[in-house]
Structure formats: structure tokens, C-alpha cells
Structure 1
């Protein structure tokens, strides 16, 4: 072989060897993360959790068969806004400016200025971030000039709504999803039964809310196709909201690059009221219009999963599915349809009882999370921040929050419980605290603390002031053993107070 030819051959071999080593040593791209949050979906509405139920959810069942299904996952609160605050910030909702209750459509942003969020952390780690769906964490709507001074009032627009007549809808909202870490946002301000009924894209109204609705089914008891009266965009279609969000989510996925990871937060507006199944889903379940709407939600999630697969993202995408709290499913519905939306648990949305905050929770991560696995680990949605930081190896102290603990070791099958998590805490719609440690659950208050009657019971002098349940033998919370275990009441009360007062993460001993 000619010397020059031989030299070129050796050079090519050397370059190939260097390229191979470089490729092998290059870090694998972080996984994409798609977080789907249903609204008011019960643990027992997912047929994988409740095979005897009257609702069929084939897409969620398939997701569970391909990933890990949790049996003891909880929302930090039993109602919408507080849970979303905890999910985004890794802090329990009672640490916010709105310790009890929910925001409305004209409320200002609840997430504090410069507060770290899951979105801002992932963006710092190179993620393209997007949110499509029901926001319900407030917007700093622009005020008309004559009302601008009100913006400096403490908690203005938090404890009570802003007056819509003071808002200049022609101007972009000053704060919202794009100021807390999202590169792209397409949202409904609050729940689909709360005005204003309109969409905002990147904090700008897609259409001014210049029309008005008188509301619908106002005497239905917050069920069925119920929505409140108020401002709306002229072309707003209540039936089209869920399909619209699914289409926008699919568009977000398909325009992503294969070289940069993405985080899509998809907070669905359903099956929260108004229950509005489209014609092709009416009568498909055996649980009335609510059940039909749930089955439409399931099919919608299937569309998103199909788009991930067709776009070539499925194999390197973590899909997380959860609900923001328990279902609004009253006892008369249980009896009418023989369907337990909360599964075997007592109560419903709003309650301190398990039915208010024990939720469906599924995680799929091909090649990492064992397909068809079931975890009994006790976890809350506040754990997203620490889990995502663990996944991307972010050690920045700015993203270490008071109440978030990584569930990554559980997902990878390395542990059975969430390491170092001292307890989990729930708050009800009226502000009852509940603390769970191991098998024991303490509720500070009598009654449901939410929507189940009796909601609040005044303690009798000399009698128990709260409720204590051993969930290992009484998952339905039918036997209150508060009086029989004063030492456990004292222990859990002290731990709850320690966590409430702490400004740093408390680690279990």
C-alpha cells in the first residue's frame, strides 16, 4: 500500500475510534417529561384501580400496564388551586398567601415573585417548557389606569377577586405561567365553570371577553353542565374546550426538537364541571354524563400518548398522570349508578377523608420503570420538584424546597417508600389539616372538613377534638380511635406543628 494511502487509512481509523469513544461517553439527553393532571377525577374512576366500577378507561389502564401504578398517592389539598401551587413549587399550599380556599378567574397570581418552580428548574437544565390547559393559579391582569394603585394593596386579588370592570383586557397580563418558568402557555384562567371564559396564549388574550353568559344549570348543585354567569369570548365553546387543549398539546409535542428535552404540563379542565361529553361519548359509560365525560378524558389522554409515539418521543419520555383531588361524587350518585368514584375510600372532593385527596397516580418511563408494577409508597404531588431535580441531577439549593421529596428511587425499584419523607400532610377545603405517617392518619377537626355532610362539628368539652384512623386495618375510616391512642395523637400533632413551623426540609429519622 502506498505510504500516503496507508496514512489516510490510519487517520480514518483513528477518527472513527475517537468518534466512537466520544459518542459512548456523551451524556444521554435528559428524558422528556409530560405531566397530565386531570381535574376532579377519583381514584375509583380509573378502571385499573376499580375493575368493578361503571367507567372504562382503556388508555389509562394501558399506561398503568406499561409503567407503575400507585395505590397510596395524594393531592396536597382536596381542592384545585392549593394542589396546583404545591405541584409547581414543592411547598405545601398553606405556606402560600392563600392558606385556605381557591382562586377565581379574576384572581392575581398566587406563586410569589422569584419563587422556584418545577418549570423554572427544568428550563435551567435545558428544557423547553410548556403548559396547556386549566391554569387556576392566578394572573396579574392589567388594570385600567385609574385603578392601577390598587395593585400595591397587600393580597389584592388573592383573598378576593379583582373587579373585572377594573381590568384592561386589551393589555397582556403582567404575571402568569410565562413568568414562572414556562416558555409557552395556552391556558384557561381557572375552572371551566368560572368566568372569564376565554383563552390566553403566552399571557395574551386570544379573544377579548366582550360577550356574556347567563350561566347554565345554576340550580344543579354544582353538577352536570353547570357553569357560572360572567364574561366570555364571543366564540368560546364550552364543549370544545377539552378537544382544543388536546389539539394544542399535540401541536406543542410535534414541534419539539429531538436534540432538546421538553416538559409539557397538561392540566386538563375535566372531568370537573361542567360535565360536557361530546356526542360521540354520550351514553358510553354506565355512570351518567359524568362517567361519559371521564371516558372522553381517557380517550383524550390516549390521543396525547399516540402523538408521543408517532413523533418518536415515547421511548425517552416520562409520562406522569394524576388528579388534582378527589371526585365531586355525592352519595346519591353512588347509589344511583352503583359507582364509587373515590373507590373504597370515604368522602369526596374537599374532604379531609381519603376520598378527598387519595388520587390515581401512574408513571411510565420505558426502560426505567418496570412495566405493570404497583407501588404502595405514600407520596404527594408536592414531590414533583425533588423528583425532577433528581432525574436531571440538579443540586442547586434554590430548588430544594420545604415539602418535596424525590420518588425516583421508588420509580426505579430501589426502595419501597419515599426516603426521608417524615410524613405527608393534606388540607381540606375549610382548612382542616390531616397528617399521615405510616399507617396512622390524624385529622385536626371533626366532620369531613369539606363537602360531605356533616362538614364541621363543634367539639364537646372533654371529648376528642379530632379524628385518628389506622389505615392498615381501616382504609375506609369508619373506626375513629382518637380516644384510644392519646400517645399517637400527641406524636402526630407535634410532628405536624414541627413541619408547619419549619422553613427548611424536615428529614425523617
Structure 2
């Protein structure tokens, strides 16, 4: 064979091999996490029917993503933000990682609101840490570190809120993100407005690293999106983009691109500001989808959309700040009732997920960790922590598949920061199938609901189904105890609140 023919044969062989190489390349990952978005804060319904609340909002890109992918109608987070984000990054339930409330930007500062009856247990108030020996943190192997080690270009954009200032977890780069855009210890922005420099005057709640937009008309949500896409221009495939918008958390400030249209439709000022924050968030999602389409990346990218807790439908009687609601769900952010934990979730994964499908299997935020490891082809990684999450890949591949009678648990041994309201302070809950048991730690009282018949949790049926309540109380107690969860203490005696199974023994 001549030298020329030999070179030609090698080129042909290489060309024929290329499709196999590309087919084996792990998919790009976009994880789009919204802050404080309720289950109903979208024009894409997540119930069996559209509601008046769905008609209030305009989220065409969520609708577009749902057409391309699979919609989860029973997806759950935790009642507040940091526990959700730590569960996402570690695969652990909050009962295990003990970052059971939102972390203060200030190190060693409790975020619990003082309560006259109960004292919250000694929890990991400084968040998560990739380093050992940091007081009041959970030491765990972070998801982005594992993805980065597997060859992913890892980008964090937006809200971090993984750990308090002065701890390793406060900087997303310490968790394995190669690029960090605007993420630090704060849980919300002091301002979305460029004329206020995104809260630069605030000592703790400013948004760092966006000086290039000062003096412009670029709303924070838009600024973060532009920075994220710019970072992807420098990325090598595959990439992991964790797009954690500060929206739609308060403060309520008008995004003038969308605000006037909601005022013209008759919404009041706060409702219009909130709806505009929602639409601006949705535009960010759409801009990322458009970018992937332009770059020819859509077919090899999985997009996961989720919120970190329920909408802020609280009972702040002093300020009368009730700009959204979660009906027909009960309560909102800070609660283990459905309005505080059930979230809008959509996943698009071309070639794997059936477009326009719906998955009713209950899933929870810690499931994202093992799911993304499987998506990335990472098998049996060395982990510091024990996982509670389960991979959702089988559910993504088959919308009719189910994980029979799976148990989901929430543990919130805290008084939340806002005014008194039903279901906002010191609660645990368990869901198994359609049944959900709620434990009021303050009253040591159990309530039982059938979510299939009563999604609004308005009818306590514990008297009619005592055996089911007993079963779930025992399951909840075992789940909490095996993960080292702690109950709050009674100030009057210094004794811990009884476990749910103990409370059941005297309840009926």
C-alpha cells in the first residue's frame, strides 16, 4: 500500500469512528433552579386542570420545555431554600445533613425566629462544606466536584446560599464549580435594579460581580442570563450550567419589560411585580434554550427545571404581603403542607424523554444528585456521604414507570422567620403513595390526609384510618432516627419533643 493510500485509509477509518465517539459523549447539563416559585406560578398547569392562577401568569418557555420534555406533577423540595440546595448538591435528605433551615450570611448566626415554647435543635447553621472540621456544617462530596472530575466544564450562575460567609461552602468554586457568577452566602438580592447596583449598598445581600451592568437598564435576571451564556461561549463540551436565578424571591421590584402588561390586566402593584419577575425568569429559560438551538447543542443537552420551595404565600399580618398563592394547595414557603414543598418540575432530554409526557411518580430534590451522576455516566463515585436520593433516569425514560410506594420525608424543626401562620413552624411530614401524615411538633399532634382525594389537605382523616396513621408514624420515626435527626426542645423542661410514633400512642 502506498503512503498516500495508507493515509487515506486512516482518514476514512477515523471518519467512520467519529459518530461513535460523539454518541458516547455525555450530555451537557442545564439545571435551572428558581427561587420561591410556587407550583401554580406558571401558565403551564401541573395539576389535572388549569386554574385561574395559571391564567394569571405568562410562561411560554416553560410551556415550550414541557412540549419538548416530561412534566413531573408530584415533584418536591424542602420548605425553605438552603436545605433544598444542600440536598441537591449532596443527595441527602435534610433529616440527614441537618442543614434544616436557611443559612444566615453571617457565620454562626441562627436564622430561627425565637419561639416561646420550643428551641430548635443544634443544626448545621453554617451550611455545607467540602472541607472537614468546619463547625456547624455538613461535610460532603459536592455534585459539581464529581462532574468536574468527570470532565465537565462547571458553571455556577446566580444564587448560591450553600454556606455562611467565612466558610468554604460560601464560595461555589470550592464546591467544584470552575466558574462562579454572582454566587455567595446571601439568600436573596437587596435589589434587582441596575440603578441600585443590584444592592451594592447592602453589607450582606448585594449581588457581586456585575459591575459592567451598573448604569444600564438591565434587570438582574437578564444580567445573569447574559453572563451565563457568555461563560458557555468559553466552555468545552460537555458542560454543566447550574442556572440558579435569584428570581422570584423578594424584594418585589418592577421588571419594566413585563410589569406594565400586568397592570393593564388589572393586577395590583405587588401582584404585577411578582408576575413580571416570573415572566423575566421564563425569558431567561427561553434565552438558554434559544442559545442551545443556535449552537446545535439541543439534541445533546438535558435541561432540568425546578423550584427550591413553595411560593411565598404566608400570613405576614403586619405587612399584609401576600402577593402570590398556591391554591388549591395549602399554605406556602416555610410549611411542610403541599403549598410549601410541591414544585413545578420539567425535564427535557432529546432521544431519551418522550416529548409532551407527564410523570406522576413522587420525586424529591435529593433525587437530582444520583440522577445527574447517572446522566453523566459516573458510576460508583467515592462519596463522603450516604445518599437518600434515587435516580430518576428510569422515570425519565418511561413516563408510565413507578417506584412503588416510595416514602418521602420532610423535617423542619424550626420556627420560620415570618409572622404566625398555620403550618409554618416545627413540623415533620411523610408521604407514601397517596397518604401523607403531618406531625405538628409543638402540639405533638398528628394529621392524616389522602392527597388523591384532598390535594388541599383540608380534611384530616386520622380518626377514620388509625392503622394507616400508625404505620406512617412508625415509618417517619424510623426514618428520622436512622438519619440522626433531632427534635426541638421544650423550653419549660429542656426535654425533646416526642417522636411521631410516641405521639401516636396517646393520640387516639
Does TM, scored on the shorter chain, surpass 0.5?
yes
Aligned partner of 1:74 in structure 2 is: 76
- Judging changes above 3 Å, is the alpha-carbon distance between structure 1 residues 208 and 293 closer, same or farther for their aligned structure 2 residues? closer
Aligned partner of 2:34 in structure 1 is: 38
Aligned partner of 1:283 in structure 2 is: 260
Residue by residue over 1:125-165, the C-alpha shift from the partner in whole angstroms, topping out at 9 and shown as x without a partner, is 11111111011112442xxxxxxxxxxxxxxx8xxxxxxxx
Shift of 1:307: 1.8
- Judging changes above 3 Å, is the alpha-carbon distance between structure 1 residues 229 and 67 closer, same or farther for their aligned structure 2 residues? closer
* Match of residue 245, structure 1, among 224, 233, 236: 224
Shift of 1:79: 0.7
Partners of 2:361 and 2:403 within 8 A in 1: yes
Aligned partner of 1:154 in structure 2 is: none
Partners of 1:105 and 1:194 within 8 A in 2: no
Partners of 2:182 and 2:207 within 8 A in 1: no
Aligned partner of 1:271 in structure 2 is: 248
Q: Map 1:367-386 to 2 at 5 A.
A: 367-386=351-370
Aligned partner of 1:177 in structure 2 is: 172
User: Could you say what the CA RMSD is over the residues aligned between the two structures, in angstroms?
Assistant: 3.6
Partner Cα separation in structure 2 for residue 385 and residue 212 of structure 1: 33
Aligned partner of 1:223 in structure 2 is: none
Shift of 1:494: 2.0
Partners of 2:107 and 2:164 within 8 A in 1: yes
Partner Cα separation in structure 1 for residue 397 and residue 169 of structure 2: 41
Residue by residue over 1:234-290, the C-alpha shift from the partner in whole angstroms, topping out at 9 and shown as x without a partner, is 977898322221111111222222xx2010111111111012232221132344221
Partner Cα separation in structure 1 for residue 480 and residue 64 of structure 2: 39
Residue by residue over 1:427-470, the C-alpha shift from the partner in whole angstroms, topping out at 9 and shown as x without a partner, is 34534111111011011117xxxxxxxxx6x35xxxxx111101
Aligned partner of 2:93 in structure 1 is: 92
Partner secondary structure for residue 367 of structure 2: helix
Partner Cα separation in structure 2 for residue 437 and residue 124 of structure 1: 36
Q: Map 1:332-411 to 2 at 5 A.
A: 341-399=325-383, 401-411=386-396
Partners of 1:405 and 1:418 within 8 A in 2: no
- Judging changes above 3 Å, is the alpha-carbon distance between structure 1 residues 437 and 187 closer, same or farther for their aligned structure 2 residues? same
Partner Cα separation in structure 1 for residue 350 and residue 205 of structure 2: 45
* Match of residue 501, structure 1, among 457, 468, 481: 481
Partners of 2:448 and 2:461 within 8 A in 1: yes
Partners of 1:210 and 1:233 within 8 A in 2: no
Runs of 4 or more off by more than 6 Å in structure 1? 207-210, 228-239, 336-340
- 2:188 aligned with 1:192, yes or no? yes
Aligned length: 425
Partner Cα separation in structure 2 for residue 69 and residue 491 of structure 1: 31
- 2:438 aligned with 1:467, yes or no? no
Partner Cα separation in structure 1 for residue 456 and residue 34 of structure 2: 24
Structure 1 runs not aligned, ≥5 long: 142-156, 158-172, 200-206, 214-227, 447-455, 460-464, 505-509
Partner Cα separation in structure 2 for residue 342 and residue 331 of structure 1: 13
Residue by residue over 1:143-190, the C-alpha shift from the partner in whole angstroms, topping out at 9 and shown as x without a partner, is xxxxxxxxxxxxxx8xxxxxxxxxxxxxxx785211111111122432
- Judging changes above 3 Å, is the alpha-carbon distance between structure 1 residues 69 and 24 closer, same or farther for their aligned structure 2 residues? same
Structure 2 runs not aligned, ≥5 long: 109-125, 132-139, 417-424, 485-508
Which has the higher Rg, Structure 1 or Structure 2?
A: 1
- Judging changes above 3 Å, is the alpha-carbon distance between structure 1 residues 139 and 367 closer, same or farther for their aligned structure 2 residues? same
Aligned partner of 2:499 in structure 1 is: none
Partner secondary structure for residue 10 of structure 2: helix
Aligned partner of 2:161 in structure 1 is: 136
TM-score by length of 2: 0.75
